[in-house]
Each structure stands twice: as structure tokens, then as C-alpha cells.
Amino acid sequence: MDMSEAPRSHGDEVIVVARSGPLSGTVTVPGAKNSVLKLMAAALLADGTHLLTNVPVITDVEMMADLLRTLGVSITVHPTGTGETGQRLELVNTGAITPVAPFEQADRIRASVNLLGPLLSRFGEIEIGLPGGDDFGSRPIDMHLSGLEAMGAVFEVRPDCIVGRCDRLRGAEIEFGFPSVGATENILCAAVLADGTTVIRNAAREPEIVDLCAMLRRMGAHMDGEGTSTITVRGVVPGSLGPARHEVVTDRVQAATYIAAVGMCGGRVRIERAVADHMGVMLGRFTDMGLQIDTDEAGLTAACDRRLTSIDVATLPFPGVATDYKPLVVAMLSVADGTGIVTENLYPGRFRYVEELRKLGAGITIDGHHAVVRGVGHLTGARVDAPDIRAGAALVVAGLAASGITEIGEIHHIDRGYDDIVGRLAGLGAPISRESQAS
Ligand code: UD1
């Protein structure tokens, strides 16, 4: 990998933010972490040279690349060229794959669970270290396993890994109890090479699922219904899929982050490449809070000229408000007029950052899976630590609305999913920098 483009992530670095005046200018939103990692895993399904474009410069991509290299995929990262919106990733799968993902690597990244479907559908016996990722409570994978079992796989769950065995997987009717994004992705990847037709009912409908299906189709897979609750996949003969060239979908959570920043600071910002259809409900809630949002084919423009108004929000599967947006919404409510209640329906433990926002003076109480956020006149800068990717970004955004200086530590979490948040916000006029803690 060319390290000149590699995201820096040093334990001794902090993000330093001062209170910002109104933001202005244009920010271009990179490709989505929540898609690219799954697309990389899908490259296991077909031999040949796959090319992913619009790949964000984030450390989770590096970790997934390392994991895939361990399995036997050669990966070259081409830095963002002139006129390009992200890196290009060339993944060469010669078919000489060792289907064993060691615990030490799998534990570093949640998306390692996405190796299950592609590996099982090509190899009769696999071993995958139990996945890690953001720590916001229990993240079970029972639906992934039971779906694959319905297709003929047998699993043995050991303390630090899962061992899976199967002959050729066979198509099945699978109905999820909940529209899980990860389980839908794994079953999709397993079904494309299965013997017969697989129907996934109560499938996740997220834009990242549609993006994965677009890549699988380019590889020669047959499916329909993605983006709805029922996806039908007609398996093809093993060996008949080919490599794909695919552009990663825009990151809707990063797009929302820059909209949230406009809400906190005021101003008017062009958010290039944001896909309004992928964030419709969230955009509606931003509008309810007082932002003006104008959308078009190429992106959107967000403006705010008043104090935000409080609203109540509940996280839900797509098209609802995604759990990943929630820390941003809590940060916005912390300075809004009135009291808002935020309900977390996906991950009840995902409120750890609230303690950090309180250090900035936010008036938040937690009651079960609800956060009651009483807007305060202003936040006050303090030293805080990023507990996970999205919470880290929310702390950055909160710092923009805090008097004095906010210093955010543990920013390696932010680097896992945000492609140069500091440079992008600075480009909009925000007083923000990345500094060595020692200085
Ligand atoms: C979830 C989010 C996704 C986000 C990602 C990273 C949703 C629906 N999914 O995806 O948008 O990008 O986190 O923050 O918002 N579950 C089980 N058993 C399983 C799988 C899941 O009980 O086998 C439960 C989870 O505990 C959770 C819910 O289902 O309560 C959603 O899980 P899922 O969509 O699979 O999570 P991710 O794929 O991680």
C-alpha cells in the first residue's frame, strides 16, 4: 500500500476544535465504510482482478485488506488521483485462498463476519475468528448462522472462532426475525453460488445492501428485489462468476455529519455526492430541527440560520433513522431549544458517549434505551475521548459549538470510518486541527 495516502492513526494524536462561526463552502462526501468492507469480502466469490473505486481512506479498509491478504487475496491500493473521489483498490483473487481468518485480525473489525457467506459458498470448511468492531453492547450473529444452516452449513462455535462446514450450499427460504444488515449480506453472498433459489424475507433494505447487489450482479449473479423486504437470488454454477469493477456508494453517515455540523454552527454548505434518497427520513428530521435542505441529482445544500429546535427520534432499520446517525442527533439536541428524546432500538448499549458530551456541559439523562436531551444555551470545551466511530464524530461536531477548546482523544476510532474529517471541516471554515498530544 502506498502509505502517502494511508490514514494516519497514532495513539498520541488528538483533534483540537474551537467554537466555529457559520460554515461555508463545498465538501465532497467519500464512499461508505459500511459498504466498501462488504464489497471487499465479496471479491472472494470470483477469481480474477476486481476493481473498487471511490474507496474511502480509512483504517477499517486497511484492516480488511490485511485480513484478505492473509486469506490469499493480493491487494494494491492506488491513491486518489486528480478528479477521483477516492482511492482505487485492486483485489486479485487467484483462487488460492486459505479460508481461515485468524482471531487476532478478525477481532479488529466487525465486518470480518462478512467473510462467512463468501467463504462458505466457495470452500467446504472455513474458520473465522469471532468479529470485533465498535463496542456498543452485544452484537449477536445467530441470524447469520441460522440462515446459513438452512442452506446446509453446519457450525461449531468455539471460544474465539467459528468453524463452518458444508457441501455445496443449497437455496432456501429464509425469513429473518429482524431485518439485519449483516445477516442479509452474508446470505446474499452465500446464495449467489448456491444450488437453487434462495428467498430472503424481511431482508434489510439499506442502500449498502443495494450496493452489494449491484457488485454481485456485475460479477454475474442473478437476483432481484434488493431494496425491498424480499430478495430472490438464483444461484449460479460455482466458477461462473467473474471479477467486477464497481464504484462504492456514497457514505450517508458522513454526509449527515457535515449536515449536523451546519446545524451546530449555522451557515450554508454544499454537500457534494450526498444521495438524498438514501437519507430521506433523516433529512426530514434535520428539517424538523430547523435546517433548510435542498436536494438535487449531484448532492444537497444544507443551511441553518437559527437555533435548532428539539425533536424526538427513534432509530430503526432503513428507511428509518439509522443507529449510526444517533450520536450526531444527540449532539445537535444538546444545544437545541427544548427537550428531545432519542430512542435506540438497535443497540441499547450505544449511549457510552453521553458521558463525554456531559463533560462539555450537555444535559442528557439515560433511561433504559432512551436518552432525554435537554438543550442548553451553550456547550463548554473540555478534554473528551472518542468511544467509537460515530460517537467520535459527534464529539467533533459538538466541539464546534462549544466555547473554548475541545480536545478529542482516542481518535483512532474516528479514523476507522471517517476520511479526513478534520481537513473537510477546516475546508468549510471550522477552526479544527489534528495535533500531536505532546505538543
Ligand atoms: C448495524 C446497522 C447498520 C450500521 C451498523 C454499524 C441497522 C439495521 N443496522 O448493522 O445500519 O451501519 O450497525 O453501526 O441499523 N441481530 C441479532 N442477531 C443477528 C444479527 C443482528 O440479534 O444475527 C440484532 C442486533 O443485535 C441488532 C439488530 O439485530 O439489535 C441489527 O443488527 P444488524 O443490522 O445485523 O447490525 P449490523 O449489520 O451491525
Given a contact cutoff of 8 angstroms between Cβ atoms, the answer to whether 334 and 363 are in contact is: yes
Picking from 341, 336, 344, 326, the residue whose alpha carbon sits closest to that of residue 394 is 326
Task: Tell how many helices (H) and how many strands (E) occur in the chain.
Answer: 14, 26
The architecture (CATH level 2) of 33-247 comes to Alpha-beta prism (3.65)
**Looking at residue 438, what is its pLDDT?**
62
Which of 10-14, 82-86, 290-294 has maximum average pLDDT?
290-294
* Average pLDDT value for residue range 415-421: 97
Kindly report the protein residue whose alpha carbon is nearest to atom 31 of ligand 1.
180
CA distance 383 to 229: 44
Average pLDDT, the chain: 94
Structure confidence by residue, pLDDT tens digits, 77-86: 999 888 888 9
Which of 82-91, 153-162, 311-320, 351-360 has maximum average pLDDT?
311-320
**Is 178's C-beta closer than 6 angstroms to any atom of ligand 1?**
yes
**Looking at residue 133, what is its pLDDT?**
57
Q: How far is the CA of 183 from the centre of ligand 1 (A)?
A: 8
**Looking at residue 3, what is its pLDDT?**
39
* Average pLDDT value for residue range 100-107: 90
* Average pLDDT value for residue range 54-76: 97
**Is 323's C-beta closer than 6 angstroms to any atom of ligand 1?**
yes
Kindly report the protein residue whose alpha carbon is nearest to atom 19 of ligand 1.
141
**Looking at residue 131, what is its pLDDT?**
73
435 pLDDT band, cuts 50/70/90, is very high
Asked if pLDDT for residue 57 goes beyond 90, the answer is yes
Give the least confident one: 87-101, 134-148, 392-406.
134-148
Asked if pLDDT for residue 159 goes beyond 80, the answer is yes
How far is CA 188 from each of CA 116, 166, 172, rounded to the nearest angstrom? 11, 16, 11
CA distance 38 to 362: 36
Active site residue 134: yes
CA distance 375 to 297: 34
110 pLDDT band, cuts 50/70/90, is confident
At a CB cut-off of 8 Å and minimum separation 6, what does 70 contact? 98, 101, 102, 105
* Average pLDDT value for residue range 166-170: 96
**Is 369's C-beta closer than 6 angstroms to any atom of ligand 1?**
no
**Looking at residue 6, what is its pLDDT?**
45
Does residue 215 sit in helix, strand or coil? helix
**Looking at residue 135, what is its pLDDT?**
53
**Looking at residue 86, what is its pLDDT?**
93
Does residue 428 sit in helix, strand or coil? coil
Asked if pLDDT for residue 70 goes beyond 90, the answer is yes
The architecture (CATH level 2) of 3-29+250-436 comes to Alpha-beta prism (3.65)
**Looking at residue 138, what is its pLDDT?**
63
Q: How far is the CA of 306 from the centre of ligand 1 (A)?
A: 35
11 pLDDT band, cuts 50/70/90, is low
Structure confidence by residue, pLDDT tens digits, 113-142: 999 999 999 998 999 998 765 554 567 899
Kindly report the protein residue whose alpha carbon is nearest to atom 25 of ligand 1.
139
Kindly report the protein residue whose alpha carbon is nearest to atom 1 of ligand 1.
181
Q: How far is the CA of 247 from the centre of ligand 1 (A)?
A: 24
**Looking at residue 421, what is its pLDDT?**
98
At a CB cut-off of 8 Å and minimum separation 6, what does 433 contact? 15, 16, 422, 426
**Looking at residue 358, what is its pLDDT?**
97
Pairing relationship of beta strands 100-101 and 125-129 according to DSSP bridges: parallel
Q: Which atom of ligand 1 is nearest to the CA of 134?
A: 14
CA distance 59 to 352: 22
Q: How far is the CA of 90 from the centre of ligand 1 (A)?
A: 28
Of 133 and 255, the one with more pLDDT: 255
* Average pLDDT value for residue range 176-202: 97
**Is 38's C-beta closer than 6 angstroms to any atom of ligand 1?**
no
Q: Do the domains at 3-29+250-436 and 33-247 have one common CATH topology? A: yes
List 134, 324, 385, 415, catalytic entry: 134
Q: Which atom of ligand 1 is nearest to the CA of 389?
A: 14
Asked if pLDDT for residue 147 goes beyond 50, the answer is yes
**Is 182's C-beta closer than 6 angstroms to any atom of ligand 1?**
yes
Using most ligand atoms within 8 A of CB, pick from 180, 279, 324, 418 the residue to mutate for ligand 1: 180
Kindly report the protein residue whose alpha carbon is nearest to atom 8 of ligand 1.
317
Sequence ranges of the domains in the chain: 3-29+250-436, 33-247
269 pLDDT band, cuts 50/70/90, is very high
**Looking at residue 377, what is its pLDDT?**
87
CA distance 185 to 259: 28
Asked if pLDDT for residue 4 goes beyond 70, the answer is no
Q: Which atom of ligand 1 is nearest to the CA of 34?
A: 12
**Is 34's C-beta closer than 6 angstroms to any atom of ligand 1?**
yes
**Is 324's C-beta closer than 6 angstroms to any atom of ligand 1?**
yes
Phi and psi at 374, nearest 5°, equal: -100, 115
108 pLDDT band, cuts 50/70/90, is confident
Q: Which atom of ligand 1 is nearest to the CA of 253?
A: 12
CB half-sphere exposure, 433, CA atoms < 13 A = 6
* Average pLDDT value for residue range 158-173: 94
Kindly report the protein residue whose alpha carbon is nearest to atom 10 of ligand 1.
181
Using most ligand atoms within 8 A of CB, pick from 35, 181, 418 the residue to mutate for ligand 1: 181
